[in-house]
Amino acid sequence: MFYRVLRTHFRELPGRIAEVTPSAFGEVFGSKEAGSQSNIVYLYRTERKFPRLSGETDVLYIGQTKQTFRARYARYAGLLATSRTNGPKYKAIIAAHGPIRIEICHFGEFGTTLKDAEAQLLWWYFQCHSEFPPVNRTGTPSRTEGTNGTVVLENYIKDAPNV
C-alpha cells in the first residue's frame, strides 16, 4: 500500500542520475521542474529494487524542504558527486541498483507541517521494511520522537479515494 500511495501522489522530475558527476546531478537538480514547487516532500529512488530487513524497495531517501528542490539542492550537485563520502556512496548505489530519480509531492498530502509529512512517510516506510531508508539518518528526533507520523497506512488509504 505504501508504494501505491507513492505512485498516486508523487511526480518524477525529468532526467535520471546515471553517473556520479556534477553535471549528472546538476541536470536533474537544476531542471525547470525542480524549481516549480516549494513546500515539498521528496524521494530519491533507484531503477532496481534492493533488499531490506523486510521486503525490498527502490526508495533511498525521504526528505522535505520549504524551498523548491532546485533551491535546496542545485548548489550541492558538485559536492554530492565529488565528496569523499557521497561520491563513493552514490557510485555504489548506481552500479548496483541503476540510475537515481527524484520524485516530489506537496507536503500537505501527508501532514500539517513539513516535518510531520516527512515523519509520516518515514513511519510508513518503517512499517513496510522494519528500518528507515538507507540514505536517511535515523537517530534525529524529527524521525523518531515528537512528530505526528502516526496515521495508520490502511486508514489513510481508506480515507483517500484517489489512492
Give domain limits for the chain.
2-159
What grid cell was written down for 82? 565529488
Was domain 2-159 assigned CATH 2.60.40? no
Residues 6 or more apart from 75 whose CB is under 8 A from it? none
Model pLDDT for residues 83-123, shown as the tens digit of each residue: 999 999 999 999 999 999 999 999 999 999 999 999 999 99
Q: Which amino acid is present at 147?
A: T
The neighbouring-strand residues paired with 100 are: 17, 46
Within a 10 A sphere around the Cβ of 7, how many other Cβ atoms?
A: 10
Within a 10 A sphere around the Cβ of 38, how many other Cβ atoms?
A: 16
pLDDT (mean) for 20-42: 97
